[in-house]
Structure 1
Amino acid sequence: MSTLSVSARWTFRLHRWAVIMWASLVAVGTGVLLWMAGPLMDEAARGWQQVQACGEGPCIVRDDGLSLYMSTYDLVTDALFLMPFLVAAWAGATLTARELESGTALPAWTQGVSPARWLASRLALPAVVVTAGAGLLVALHRYAWSSSEGRMGTRAGWWLLRTFYANGPALVAVCLAALAVGALTGLLVPRTLPALGITVAVTALLFTAAHWLMPYLWPSVTEVNDFGHGYAGEFSGIEVTHGMVTSTGAHVPTPYCAADITDRCERLYERHGGTGFFSSYHPASHYWPLQLTTSALLLVVTALLTAASFVVLRRRTG
Protein backbone atom coordinates (compact mmCIF):
# COMPACT_ATOMS: atom_id res chain seq x y z
CA MET A 1 0.00 0.00 0.00
CA SER A 2 1.42 3.39 -1.01
CA THR A 3 2.38 5.98 1.56
CA LEU A 4 -0.11 8.39 -0.02
CA SER A 5 -3.03 6.02 0.47
CA VAL A 6 -1.93 5.37 4.06
CA SER A 7 -1.81 9.12 4.66
CA ALA A 8 -5.25 9.55 3.06
CA ARG A 9 -6.71 6.86 5.35
CA TRP A 10 -5.14 8.57 8.35
CA THR A 11 -6.60 11.89 7.21
CA PHE A 12 -10.06 10.33 7.09
CA ARG A 13 -9.65 8.83 10.56
CA LEU A 14 -8.39 12.14 11.89
CA HIS A 15 -11.30 14.15 10.45
CA ARG A 16 -14.02 11.50 10.33
CA TRP A 17 -16.28 13.36 12.75
CA ALA A 18 -16.03 16.52 10.67
CA VAL A 19 -16.90 14.47 7.56
CA ILE A 20 -19.85 12.89 9.37
CA MET A 21 -21.12 16.27 10.58
CA TRP A 22 -20.74 17.77 7.11
CA ALA A 23 -22.56 14.83 5.53
CA SER A 24 -25.34 15.21 8.10
CA LEU A 25 -25.71 18.92 7.36
CA VAL A 26 -25.81 18.22 3.63
CA ALA A 27 -28.42 15.49 4.17
CA VAL A 28 -30.63 17.80 6.24
CA GLY A 29 -30.21 20.62 3.73
CA THR A 30 -31.08 18.27 0.88
CA GLY A 31 -34.27 17.18 2.62
CA VAL A 32 -35.35 20.74 3.40
CA LEU A 33 -34.66 21.97 -0.14
CA LEU A 34 -36.57 19.07 -1.72
CA TRP A 35 -39.45 19.78 0.66
CA MET A 36 -39.34 23.45 -0.32
CA ALA A 37 -39.44 22.60 -4.02
CA GLY A 38 -42.28 20.10 -3.61
CA PRO A 39 -44.97 19.99 -0.89
CA LEU A 40 -44.12 23.35 0.68
CA MET A 41 -44.08 25.04 -2.73
CA ASP A 42 -47.54 23.63 -3.44
CA GLU A 43 -48.85 25.04 -0.15
CA ALA A 44 -47.21 28.40 -0.79
CA ALA A 45 -48.68 28.58 -4.31
CA ARG A 46 -52.18 27.92 -2.95
CA GLY A 47 -51.66 30.65 -0.37
CA TRP A 48 -50.51 33.07 -3.05
CA GLN A 49 -53.56 32.28 -5.18
CA GLN A 50 -55.80 33.02 -2.20
CA VAL A 51 -54.06 36.35 -1.63
CA GLN A 52 -54.49 37.25 -5.31
CA ALA A 53 -58.15 36.19 -5.34
CA CYS A 54 -58.82 38.29 -2.27
CA GLY A 55 -57.75 41.48 -4.03
CA GLU A 56 -58.39 44.64 -2.06
CA GLY A 57 -61.63 43.50 -0.52
CA PRO A 58 -61.95 42.18 3.05
CA CYS A 59 -61.49 38.43 3.32
CA ILE A 60 -59.82 35.81 5.45
CA VAL A 61 -56.77 34.21 3.87
CA ARG A 62 -54.92 31.24 5.31
CA ASP A 63 -51.43 31.82 3.96
CA ASP A 64 -49.60 29.60 6.43
CA GLY A 65 -47.85 27.80 3.58
CA LEU A 66 -46.76 31.06 1.98
CA SER A 67 -45.36 32.46 5.21
CA LEU A 68 -43.62 29.19 6.04
CA TYR A 69 -42.09 29.01 2.57
CA MET A 70 -40.72 32.55 2.80
CA SER A 71 -39.25 32.08 6.27
CA THR A 72 -37.77 28.69 5.30
CA TYR A 73 -36.28 30.17 2.15
CA ASP A 74 -34.63 32.96 4.14
CA LEU A 75 -33.26 30.50 6.69
CA VAL A 76 -31.86 28.05 4.13
CA THR A 77 -30.42 30.80 1.92
CA ASP A 78 -28.69 32.41 4.91
CA ALA A 79 -27.27 29.02 5.89
CA LEU A 80 -25.84 28.44 2.40
CA PHE A 81 -24.44 31.97 2.24
CA LEU A 82 -22.61 31.36 5.54
CA MET A 83 -21.29 27.96 4.41
CA PRO A 84 -17.85 29.27 3.34
CA PHE A 85 -17.31 30.65 6.84
CA LEU A 86 -18.13 27.26 8.36
CA VAL A 87 -15.54 25.69 6.05
CA ALA A 88 -13.06 28.46 6.95
CA ALA A 89 -13.52 27.95 10.69
CA TRP A 90 -12.95 24.20 10.39
CA ALA A 91 -10.01 24.50 7.98
CA GLY A 92 -8.28 27.18 10.04
CA ALA A 93 -8.64 25.22 13.25
CA THR A 94 -7.92 21.64 12.21
CA LEU A 95 -6.66 21.18 8.65
CA THR A 96 -2.97 21.89 9.33
CA ALA A 97 -2.70 24.06 12.44
CA ARG A 98 -3.81 21.42 14.95
CA GLU A 99 -1.30 18.78 13.85
CA LEU A 100 1.55 21.28 13.77
CA GLU A 101 0.58 22.69 17.16
CA SER A 102 0.36 19.25 18.77
CA GLY A 103 3.47 17.95 16.99
CA THR A 104 1.71 14.93 15.46
CA ALA A 105 2.79 15.94 11.96
CA LEU A 106 6.49 15.38 12.69
CA PRO A 107 6.24 11.61 13.30
CA ALA A 108 4.33 11.22 10.02
CA TRP A 109 7.12 12.98 8.14
CA THR A 110 9.71 10.60 9.64
CA GLN A 111 7.72 7.43 8.85
CA GLY A 112 7.86 7.51 5.06
CA VAL A 113 5.28 10.23 4.37
CA SER A 114 6.93 13.28 2.88
CA PRO A 115 5.67 16.72 3.96
CA ALA A 116 4.35 17.36 0.44
CA ARG A 117 2.34 14.12 0.45
CA TRP A 118 1.15 14.87 3.98
CA LEU A 119 -0.23 18.23 2.85
CA ALA A 120 -1.69 16.79 -0.37
CA SER A 121 -3.60 14.18 1.60
CA ARG A 122 -4.84 16.84 4.04
CA LEU A 123 -6.21 18.91 1.15
CA ALA A 124 -7.57 16.23 -1.20
CA LEU A 125 -10.25 14.62 0.97
CA PRO A 126 -11.72 17.89 2.32
CA ALA A 127 -11.72 19.39 -1.18
CA VAL A 128 -13.72 16.46 -2.57
CA VAL A 129 -16.14 16.42 0.35
CA VAL A 130 -16.69 20.20 0.32
CA THR A 131 -17.12 20.33 -3.47
CA ALA A 132 -19.63 17.46 -3.50
CA GLY A 133 -21.65 18.71 -0.54
CA ALA A 134 -21.70 22.39 -1.42
CA GLY A 135 -22.31 21.65 -5.10
CA LEU A 136 -25.33 19.48 -4.28
CA LEU A 137 -26.84 22.09 -1.96
CA VAL A 138 -26.32 24.90 -4.47
CA ALA A 139 -27.94 22.86 -7.26
CA LEU A 140 -30.93 22.00 -5.05
CA HIS A 141 -31.27 25.60 -3.89
CA ARG A 142 -31.49 26.76 -7.49
CA TYR A 143 -34.03 24.01 -8.17
CA ALA A 144 -36.14 25.10 -5.18
CA TRP A 145 -35.86 28.76 -6.20
CA SER A 146 -36.78 28.01 -9.82
CA SER A 147 -39.81 25.95 -8.78
CA SER A 148 -41.61 29.13 -7.68
CA GLU A 149 -41.41 30.72 -11.15
CA GLY A 150 -44.90 31.54 -12.38
CA ARG A 151 -46.48 30.23 -9.18
CA MET A 152 -45.73 33.07 -6.75
CA GLY A 153 -45.14 36.78 -7.08
CA THR A 154 -42.78 37.01 -4.13
CA ARG A 155 -39.78 35.08 -5.46
CA ALA A 156 -36.43 36.60 -4.47
CA GLY A 157 -34.72 38.38 -7.34
CA TRP A 158 -31.81 36.53 -8.93
CA TRP A 159 -29.59 39.59 -8.43
CA LEU A 160 -30.00 39.77 -4.64
CA LEU A 161 -26.76 39.06 -2.77
CA ARG A 162 -27.76 35.87 -0.92
CA THR A 163 -29.80 34.41 -3.75
CA PHE A 164 -27.13 35.10 -6.38
CA TYR A 165 -24.49 33.12 -4.51
CA ALA A 166 -26.74 30.40 -3.09
CA ASN A 167 -27.90 29.62 -6.64
CA GLY A 168 -24.54 29.21 -8.36
CA PRO A 169 -21.09 27.64 -8.45
CA ALA A 170 -19.35 30.80 -7.20
CA LEU A 171 -20.34 29.80 -3.66
CA VAL A 172 -18.64 26.42 -4.07
CA ALA A 173 -15.52 28.24 -5.30
CA VAL A 174 -15.59 30.46 -2.19
CA CYS A 175 -15.75 27.31 -0.02
CA LEU A 176 -12.67 25.88 -1.76
CA ALA A 177 -10.87 29.19 -1.36
CA ALA A 178 -11.70 29.12 2.36
CA LEU A 179 -10.22 25.62 2.56
CA ALA A 180 -7.00 26.80 0.92
CA VAL A 181 -6.84 29.85 3.20
CA GLY A 182 -7.16 27.57 6.22
CA ALA A 183 -4.36 25.28 5.06
CA LEU A 184 -1.98 28.19 4.42
CA THR A 185 -2.88 29.99 7.64
CA GLY A 186 -2.30 26.82 9.66
CA LEU A 187 1.19 26.51 8.22
CA LEU A 188 2.01 30.15 8.87
CA VAL A 189 0.33 30.35 12.30
CA PRO A 190 0.41 26.80 13.75
CA ARG A 191 -1.90 27.61 16.64
CA THR A 192 -5.52 26.52 16.50
CA LEU A 193 -7.48 29.52 17.78
CA PRO A 194 -5.43 32.28 16.06
CA ALA A 195 -5.48 30.31 12.80
CA LEU A 196 -9.27 29.91 13.05
CA GLY A 197 -9.84 33.64 13.54
CA ILE A 198 -7.43 34.66 10.80
CA THR A 199 -8.92 32.19 8.31
CA VAL A 200 -12.47 33.42 8.89
CA ALA A 201 -11.36 37.06 8.58
CA VAL A 202 -9.37 36.44 5.38
CA THR A 203 -12.27 34.46 3.89
CA ALA A 204 -14.61 37.38 4.60
CA LEU A 205 -12.20 39.77 2.88
CA LEU A 206 -11.78 37.43 -0.08
CA PHE A 207 -15.55 36.97 -0.45
CA THR A 208 -16.08 40.74 -0.26
CA ALA A 209 -13.37 41.41 -2.84
CA ALA A 210 -14.79 38.80 -5.23
CA HIS A 211 -18.27 40.27 -4.90
CA TRP A 212 -16.93 43.79 -5.51
CA LEU A 213 -15.08 42.67 -8.65
CA MET A 214 -17.89 40.45 -9.93
CA PRO A 215 -19.86 43.15 -11.89
CA TYR A 216 -16.67 44.16 -13.71
CA LEU A 217 -15.71 40.67 -14.85
CA TRP A 218 -18.22 40.75 -17.70
CA PRO A 219 -19.25 43.69 -19.95
CA SER A 220 -22.40 45.39 -18.71
CA VAL A 221 -25.20 46.85 -20.83
CA THR A 222 -26.11 50.54 -20.75
CA GLU A 223 -29.66 51.80 -21.24
CA VAL A 224 -31.10 55.31 -21.26
CA ASN A 225 -34.57 56.16 -19.93
CA ASP A 226 -36.50 59.38 -19.65
CA PHE A 227 -36.90 60.84 -16.19
CA GLY A 228 -40.36 59.36 -15.80
CA HIS A 229 -39.18 55.76 -16.12
CA GLY A 230 -36.21 55.97 -13.75
CA TYR A 231 -33.08 53.86 -13.98
CA ALA A 232 -33.16 50.79 -16.21
CA GLY A 233 -32.55 47.51 -14.43
CA GLU A 234 -32.97 49.05 -10.98
CA PHE A 235 -34.98 46.11 -9.66
CA SER A 236 -34.18 43.49 -12.27
CA GLY A 237 -30.40 43.23 -12.45
CA ILE A 238 -27.02 43.97 -10.91
CA GLU A 239 -26.26 47.67 -11.23
CA VAL A 240 -22.74 48.82 -12.07
CA THR A 241 -23.29 52.57 -12.26
CA HIS A 242 -26.02 55.08 -13.02
CA GLY A 243 -26.43 58.79 -13.54
CA MET A 244 -27.89 61.46 -15.80
CA VAL A 245 -27.59 61.99 -19.53
CA THR A 246 -27.16 65.60 -20.67
CA SER A 247 -28.23 67.26 -23.90
CA THR A 248 -24.68 66.79 -25.22
CA GLY A 249 -24.85 63.04 -24.60
CA ALA A 250 -22.48 63.15 -21.64
CA HIS A 251 -23.00 60.82 -18.69
CA VAL A 252 -22.73 62.74 -15.41
CA PRO A 253 -23.74 62.11 -11.77
CA THR A 254 -27.38 62.83 -11.06
CA PRO A 255 -27.80 66.12 -9.15
CA TYR A 256 -29.07 65.60 -5.62
CA CYS A 257 -32.77 66.31 -5.24
CA ALA A 258 -34.47 66.27 -1.83
CA ALA A 259 -37.94 67.06 -3.16
CA ASP A 260 -40.65 64.48 -2.66
CA ILE A 261 -42.44 65.49 -5.89
CA THR A 262 -41.06 64.01 -9.11
CA ASP A 263 -41.88 67.07 -11.24
CA ARG A 264 -39.71 69.31 -9.06
CA CYS A 265 -36.75 66.95 -9.44
CA GLU A 266 -37.24 66.77 -13.20
CA ARG A 267 -37.15 70.57 -13.44
CA LEU A 268 -33.94 70.56 -11.40
CA TYR A 269 -32.36 67.98 -13.70
CA GLU A 270 -33.41 69.93 -16.79
CA ARG A 271 -31.81 73.10 -15.40
CA HIS A 272 -28.56 71.12 -15.27
CA GLY A 273 -28.98 70.14 -18.92
CA GLY A 274 -30.34 66.67 -18.24
CA THR A 275 -32.49 64.78 -20.72
CA GLY A 276 -32.80 61.41 -18.97
CA PHE A 277 -31.18 58.73 -16.86
CA PHE A 278 -28.57 56.19 -17.87
CA SER A 279 -27.85 52.92 -16.12
CA SER A 280 -25.12 50.35 -16.70
CA TYR A 281 -26.20 46.99 -15.31
CA HIS A 282 -26.25 43.23 -15.80
CA PRO A 283 -29.60 41.75 -16.91
CA ALA A 284 -30.74 38.21 -16.15
CA SER A 285 -29.01 36.94 -19.31
CA HIS A 286 -25.66 37.75 -17.67
CA TYR A 287 -26.26 35.45 -14.71
CA TRP A 288 -24.15 32.53 -15.91
CA PRO A 289 -21.30 34.64 -17.34
CA LEU A 290 -21.04 36.42 -13.98
CA GLN A 291 -21.18 33.16 -12.05
CA LEU A 292 -18.57 31.44 -14.20
CA THR A 293 -16.12 34.35 -14.36
CA THR A 294 -16.37 34.86 -10.59
CA SER A 295 -15.89 31.13 -10.03
CA ALA A 296 -12.86 31.11 -12.34
CA LEU A 297 -11.30 34.03 -10.46
CA LEU A 298 -11.84 32.34 -7.11
CA LEU A 299 -10.42 29.03 -8.36
CA VAL A 300 -7.29 30.83 -9.59
CA VAL A 301 -6.92 32.38 -6.13
CA THR A 302 -7.45 28.92 -4.58
CA ALA A 303 -4.72 27.44 -6.78
CA LEU A 304 -2.32 30.23 -5.83
CA LEU A 305 -3.06 29.76 -2.11
CA THR A 306 -2.55 26.01 -2.44
CA ALA A 307 0.77 26.50 -4.23
CA ALA A 308 1.81 28.97 -1.53
CA SER A 309 1.01 26.33 1.11
CA PHE A 310 3.42 23.85 -0.49
CA VAL A 311 6.12 26.53 -0.75
CA VAL A 312 5.72 27.47 2.92
CA LEU A 313 5.78 23.81 3.97
CA ARG A 314 8.93 23.14 1.95
CA ARG A 315 10.69 26.08 3.55
CA ARG A 316 9.44 25.03 6.97
CA THR A 317 10.75 21.50 6.62
CA GLY A 318 13.93 22.36 4.72
Structure 2
Amino acid sequence: MTALSAAPPAPHRSLSRLHRAALLVWAAFVLLVAGWLLWLHLSEVPAERTCQSFFAYSPMGGHPRTCDYSAFTDANNLFNVLGEVLSYSCVAVAAWAGGALVGRELESGTAKLAWTQSVSPARWLAGKLTAAAVPLAAGGGLAALVFGWVWSSDRKWLVSNWTYDRVFIPRGPLLPALLLLGLAVGALAGIALRRALPALGTAAAATLLTRLYLREAWKPLRGPLHGFWAVHLSATAMVLALAAAAAAGAFCILRHQAR
Protein backbone atom coordinates (compact mmCIF):
# COMPACT_ATOMS: atom_id res chain seq x y z
CA MET A 1 0.00 0.00 0.00
CA THR A 2 1.30 3.44 -0.89
CA ALA A 3 -1.03 5.38 1.41
CA LEU A 4 -3.04 4.83 4.50
CA SER A 5 -6.57 6.04 5.01
CA ALA A 6 -6.82 8.93 7.40
CA ALA A 7 -8.32 8.02 10.74
CA PRO A 8 -11.64 9.66 11.60
CA PRO A 9 -11.39 12.59 13.96
CA ALA A 10 -11.80 11.77 17.63
CA PRO A 11 -15.20 12.73 19.05
CA HIS A 12 -13.71 15.16 21.53
CA ARG A 13 -11.79 16.95 18.78
CA SER A 14 -14.96 17.18 16.71
CA LEU A 15 -16.76 18.71 19.68
CA SER A 16 -14.01 21.29 20.16
CA ARG A 17 -14.32 22.41 16.55
CA LEU A 18 -18.11 22.42 16.29
CA HIS A 19 -18.86 23.95 19.68
CA ARG A 20 -15.82 26.12 20.32
CA ALA A 21 -18.01 29.19 20.73
CA ALA A 22 -20.10 27.49 23.42
CA LEU A 23 -16.97 26.38 25.27
CA LEU A 24 -15.59 29.92 25.15
CA VAL A 25 -18.88 31.34 26.43
CA TRP A 26 -18.86 28.84 29.29
CA ALA A 27 -15.26 29.69 30.19
CA ALA A 28 -16.07 33.40 30.10
CA PHE A 29 -19.12 32.85 32.31
CA VAL A 30 -17.12 30.92 34.91
CA LEU A 31 -14.40 33.60 34.96
CA LEU A 32 -17.04 36.31 35.28
CA VAL A 33 -18.67 34.50 38.20
CA ALA A 34 -15.34 34.02 39.97
CA GLY A 35 -14.36 37.64 39.34
CA TRP A 36 -17.72 38.90 40.56
CA LEU A 37 -17.43 36.89 43.77
CA LEU A 38 -13.88 38.04 44.42
CA TRP A 39 -14.91 41.66 43.80
CA LEU A 40 -17.70 41.32 46.35
CA HIS A 41 -15.33 39.78 48.88
CA LEU A 42 -12.42 42.15 48.37
CA SER A 43 -14.26 45.41 47.65
CA GLU A 44 -17.97 45.62 48.41
CA VAL A 45 -18.15 43.69 51.68
CA PRO A 46 -15.18 45.56 53.23
CA ALA A 47 -16.71 48.87 52.13
CA GLU A 48 -20.01 48.01 53.83
CA ARG A 49 -18.21 46.78 56.92
CA THR A 50 -16.26 50.04 57.19
CA CYS A 51 -19.34 52.17 56.60
CA GLN A 52 -21.46 50.42 59.18
CA SER A 53 -18.64 50.51 61.73
CA PHE A 54 -18.04 54.22 61.18
CA PHE A 55 -21.71 55.16 61.41
CA ALA A 56 -22.64 52.74 64.16
CA TYR A 57 -23.80 55.60 66.39
CA SER A 58 -24.63 59.22 65.82
CA PRO A 59 -22.35 61.59 67.76
CA MET A 60 -25.34 63.69 68.80
CA GLY A 61 -27.75 61.28 70.36
CA GLY A 62 -26.28 57.81 70.23
CA HIS A 63 -28.91 56.65 67.74
CA PRO A 64 -27.66 54.07 65.25
CA ARG A 65 -27.27 55.15 61.66
CA THR A 66 -27.26 52.99 58.57
CA CYS A 67 -25.53 53.11 55.21
CA ASP A 68 -27.75 53.44 52.17
CA TYR A 69 -27.20 51.18 49.16
CA SER A 70 -28.99 50.74 45.87
CA ALA A 71 -30.03 47.41 44.42
CA PHE A 72 -26.88 47.51 42.26
CA THR A 73 -24.40 48.21 45.05
CA ASP A 74 -25.68 46.17 47.99
CA ALA A 75 -23.31 43.21 48.40
CA ASN A 76 -25.96 40.87 49.76
CA ASN A 77 -28.35 41.67 46.91
CA LEU A 78 -25.66 41.11 44.28
CA PHE A 79 -24.62 37.87 45.95
CA ASN A 80 -28.22 36.61 45.96
CA VAL A 81 -28.67 37.45 42.28
CA LEU A 82 -25.52 35.52 41.43
CA GLY A 83 -26.70 32.57 43.50
CA GLU A 84 -30.01 32.49 41.63
CA VAL A 85 -28.25 32.58 38.25
CA LEU A 86 -25.96 29.71 39.21
CA SER A 87 -28.77 27.61 40.66
CA TYR A 88 -30.67 27.74 37.35
CA SER A 89 -27.67 27.52 35.00
CA CYS A 90 -28.46 23.83 34.44
CA VAL A 91 -31.48 24.89 32.35
CA ALA A 92 -29.24 26.72 29.88
CA VAL A 93 -26.93 23.70 29.70
CA ALA A 94 -29.88 21.41 28.94
CA ALA A 95 -31.10 23.73 26.17
CA TRP A 96 -27.64 23.81 24.58
CA ALA A 97 -27.14 20.06 24.86
CA GLY A 98 -30.55 19.25 23.42
CA GLY A 99 -30.46 21.79 20.61
CA ALA A 100 -26.84 22.22 19.53
CA LEU A 101 -24.85 19.34 20.95
CA VAL A 102 -27.12 16.47 19.90
CA GLY A 103 -30.37 17.53 18.24
CA ARG A 104 -28.88 19.66 15.48
CA GLU A 105 -26.39 16.98 14.44
CA LEU A 106 -29.07 14.32 14.26
CA GLU A 107 -31.38 16.63 12.31
CA SER A 108 -28.72 17.67 9.79
CA GLY A 109 -27.32 14.18 9.31
CA THR A 110 -23.88 15.04 10.66
CA ALA A 111 -24.19 12.29 13.23
CA LYS A 112 -24.92 9.61 10.62
CA LEU A 113 -21.91 10.78 8.64
CA ALA A 114 -19.74 10.29 11.72
CA TRP A 115 -21.21 6.82 12.19
CA THR A 116 -20.11 5.82 8.70
CA GLN A 117 -16.51 6.79 9.53
CA SER A 118 -15.89 3.87 11.91
CA VAL A 119 -17.38 5.72 14.88
CA SER A 120 -20.21 3.73 16.43
CA PRO A 121 -23.32 5.59 17.63
CA ALA A 122 -22.53 4.69 21.24
CA ARG A 123 -18.96 5.95 20.92
CA TRP A 124 -20.20 9.10 19.21
CA LEU A 125 -22.55 9.89 22.09
CA ALA A 126 -20.03 8.90 24.74
CA GLY A 127 -17.44 11.19 23.18
CA LYS A 128 -19.82 14.13 23.10
CA LEU A 129 -21.01 13.65 26.66
CA THR A 130 -17.49 13.18 28.00
CA ALA A 131 -16.03 16.15 26.15
CA ALA A 132 -18.85 18.39 27.37
CA ALA A 133 -19.00 17.00 30.91
CA VAL A 134 -15.34 17.74 31.68
CA PRO A 135 -15.48 21.54 31.21
CA LEU A 136 -18.94 21.70 32.77
CA ALA A 137 -17.86 19.83 35.88
CA ALA A 138 -14.56 21.71 36.15
CA GLY A 139 -16.15 25.13 35.67
CA GLY A 140 -19.04 24.34 37.98
CA GLY A 141 -16.66 23.03 40.60
CA LEU A 142 -14.53 26.19 40.44
CA ALA A 143 -17.59 28.43 40.71
CA ALA A 144 -18.89 26.42 43.67
CA LEU A 145 -15.50 26.54 45.39
CA VAL A 146 -15.23 30.33 45.14
CA PHE A 147 -18.91 30.82 46.00
CA GLY A 148 -18.65 28.69 49.13
CA TRP A 149 -15.45 30.37 50.26
CA VAL A 150 -16.90 33.87 49.87
CA TRP A 151 -20.14 32.94 51.65
CA SER A 152 -18.29 31.30 54.53
CA SER A 153 -15.89 34.23 54.86
CA ASP A 154 -18.55 36.97 54.69
CA ARG A 155 -21.65 35.21 56.01
CA LYS A 156 -22.12 37.94 58.65
CA TRP A 157 -22.69 40.44 55.84
CA LEU A 158 -24.39 38.06 53.40
CA VAL A 159 -27.53 37.30 55.35
CA SER A 160 -28.95 34.51 53.17
CA ASN A 161 -29.58 31.30 55.09
CA TRP A 162 -27.85 28.19 53.73
CA THR A 163 -31.22 26.48 53.30
CA TYR A 164 -32.16 28.93 50.53
CA ASP A 165 -31.58 27.46 47.08
CA ARG A 166 -29.48 30.45 46.03
CA VAL A 167 -26.92 29.42 48.68
CA PHE A 168 -27.61 25.71 49.08
CA ILE A 169 -27.02 24.80 45.41
CA PRO A 170 -23.95 26.79 44.36
CA ARG A 171 -22.03 26.30 47.60
CA GLY A 172 -20.79 22.78 46.85
CA PRO A 173 -20.76 19.84 44.41
CA LEU A 174 -24.51 20.04 43.90
CA LEU A 175 -23.87 22.79 41.33
CA PRO A 176 -21.72 20.71 38.94
CA ALA A 177 -24.05 17.75 39.55
CA LEU A 178 -27.00 19.81 38.31
CA LEU A 179 -24.99 20.91 35.28
CA LEU A 180 -24.32 17.26 34.44
CA LEU A 181 -28.01 16.54 34.89
CA GLY A 182 -28.83 19.29 32.40
CA LEU A 183 -26.32 17.79 29.96
CA ALA A 184 -27.82 14.30 30.29
CA VAL A 185 -31.41 15.52 29.95
CA GLY A 186 -30.44 17.57 26.90
CA ALA A 187 -28.81 14.54 25.28
CA LEU A 188 -31.86 12.42 26.01
CA ALA A 189 -34.21 15.00 24.49
CA GLY A 190 -31.99 15.46 21.43
CA ILE A 191 -31.80 11.74 20.71
CA ALA A 192 -35.49 11.14 21.37
CA LEU A 193 -36.73 14.05 19.22
CA ARG A 194 -33.89 14.25 16.65
CA ARG A 195 -34.68 17.90 15.92
CA ALA A 196 -32.86 20.90 17.32
CA LEU A 197 -35.60 23.34 18.33
CA PRO A 198 -38.04 20.80 19.83
CA ALA A 199 -35.17 19.19 21.72
CA LEU A 200 -33.98 22.57 22.98
CA GLY A 201 -37.39 23.52 24.35
CA THR A 202 -38.17 20.09 25.77
CA ALA A 203 -34.79 19.77 27.48
CA ALA A 204 -35.02 23.23 29.02
CA ALA A 205 -38.58 22.68 30.26
CA ALA A 206 -37.85 19.21 31.63
CA THR A 207 -34.74 20.40 33.45
CA LEU A 208 -36.55 23.39 34.90
CA LEU A 209 -39.40 21.23 36.18
CA THR A 210 -36.92 18.70 37.59
CA ARG A 211 -34.98 21.50 39.27
CA LEU A 212 -38.17 22.83 40.89
CA TYR A 213 -39.23 19.33 41.97
CA LEU A 214 -35.83 18.63 43.50
CA ARG A 215 -36.18 21.76 45.61
CA GLU A 216 -39.12 20.07 47.31
CA ALA A 217 -37.49 16.62 47.28
CA TRP A 218 -34.44 17.55 49.33
CA LYS A 219 -36.36 19.61 51.90
CA PRO A 220 -37.34 16.46 53.90
CA LEU A 221 -33.64 15.58 54.13
CA ARG A 222 -33.22 18.43 56.61
CA GLY A 223 -35.18 16.47 59.18
CA PRO A 224 -33.17 13.24 59.60
CA LEU A 225 -29.92 14.85 58.43
CA HIS A 226 -28.25 17.67 60.31
CA GLY A 227 -25.97 20.35 58.93
CA PHE A 228 -25.31 21.73 55.49
CA TRP A 229 -22.91 19.08 54.20
CA ALA A 230 -25.01 16.08 55.18
CA VAL A 231 -28.03 17.47 53.32
CA HIS A 232 -25.98 18.86 50.44
CA LEU A 233 -24.11 15.64 49.70
CA SER A 234 -27.32 13.61 49.90
CA ALA A 235 -28.97 15.97 47.41
CA THR A 236 -25.89 15.72 45.18
CA ALA A 237 -26.13 11.92 45.15
CA MET A 238 -29.82 12.20 44.24
CA VAL A 239 -29.06 14.49 41.29
CA LEU A 240 -26.18 12.33 40.04
CA ALA A 241 -28.45 9.29 40.09
CA LEU A 242 -30.97 11.14 37.94
CA ALA A 243 -28.21 12.24 35.57
CA ALA A 244 -26.99 8.66 35.22
CA ALA A 245 -30.54 7.47 34.53
CA ALA A 246 -31.05 10.13 31.85
CA ALA A 247 -27.72 9.28 30.20
CA ALA A 248 -28.56 5.56 30.25
CA GLY A 249 -31.92 6.34 28.66
CA ALA A 250 -30.18 8.31 25.91
CA PHE A 251 -27.87 5.39 25.11
CA CYS A 252 -30.78 2.92 25.07
CA ILE A 253 -32.83 5.04 22.67
CA LEU A 254 -29.82 5.63 20.43
CA ARG A 255 -29.07 1.92 20.26
CA HIS A 256 -32.67 1.19 19.32
CA GLN A 257 -32.67 3.88 16.60
CA ALA A 258 -29.34 2.72 15.15
CA ARG A 259 -30.54 -0.83 14.48
Picking from 27, 30, 33, the partner of 1:23 is 27
Structure 1: distance between partners of 2:214 and 2:118: 40
8 Å CA contact 1:170, 1:292 repeated in 2: yes
Matching of residue 307 in structure 1 with residue 248 in structure 2: yes
Equivalent position amino acid for 1:314 in 2: R
Picking from 37, 42, 52, the partner of 2:41 is 37
Cα separation, partners in 2 of 1:64 and 1:309, compared to 1, 3 Å: closer
Q: Comparing both structures, which one devotes a greater share of its residues to strand?
A: 1
8 Å CA contact 1:187, 1:312 repeated in 2: yes
Cα separation, partners in 2 of 1:40 and 1:9, compared to 1, 3 Å: same
Structure 1: distance between partners of 2:82 and 2:52: 21
Q: Give the TM-score taking structure 2 as reference length.
A: 0.88
SS of residue matched to 2:161: coil
SS of residue matched to 2:227: helix
1:256-300 Cα shifts (integer Å, max 9, x gaps)? xxxxxxxxxxxxxxxxxxxxxxxxxx7xx5211111111101111
Structure 2 unmatched ranges of 5 or more: 1-5
User: Which residue of structure 1 aligns with residue 107 of structure 2?
Assistant: 101
Moved more, 128-137 or 75-84: 75-84
Structure 2: distance between partners of 1:185 and 1:4: 27
Structure 2: distance between partners of 1:13 and 1:83: 23
Equivalent position amino acid for 1:179 in 2: L
**Match runs of 1:93-242 below 5 Å:** 93-150=99-156, 152=157, 155-217=159-221, 219-220=223-224
Structure 1 unmatched ranges of 5 or more: 221-281
Matching of residue 287 in structure 1 with residue 224 in structure 2: no
The CA deviation at 1:149 is: 3.5
Structure 2: distance between partners of 1:310 and 1:63: 52
Picking from 51, 54, 57, the partner of 1:53 is 57
1:31-61 Cα shifts (integer Å, max 9, x gaps)? 1111112222211211232453349737584
Q: Give the TM-score taking structure 1 as reference length.
A: 0.73
User: Which residue of structure 2 aligns with residue 6 of structure 1?
Assistant: 10
Moved over 4 A (4+): 2-5, 58-67
The CA deviation at 1:66 is: 10
8 Å CA contact 2:30, 2:139 repeated in 1: yes
8 Å CA contact 2:55, 2:66 repeated in 1: no
Equivalent position amino acid for 2:183 in 1: L
The CA deviation at 1:166 is: 2.0
Q: Comparing both structures, which one devotes a greater share of its residues to helix?
A: 2
The CA deviation at 1:67 is: 4.2
8 Å CA contact 1:89, 1:200 repeated in 2: yes
State the identity as a percent.
35
The CA deviation at 1:216 is: 2.7
Structure 2: distance between partners of 1:294 and 1:27: 26
Q: Which has the higher contact order (CA 8 A, sep 6+)?
A: 2
SS of residue matched to 1:40: helix
Equivalent position amino acid for 2:11 in 1: S
SS of residue matched to 1:25: helix
Structure 2: distance between partners of 1:169 and 1:291: 8
Give the alignment's Cα RMSD to 1 decimal.
2.6
> Higher Cα Rg: structure 1 or 2?
1
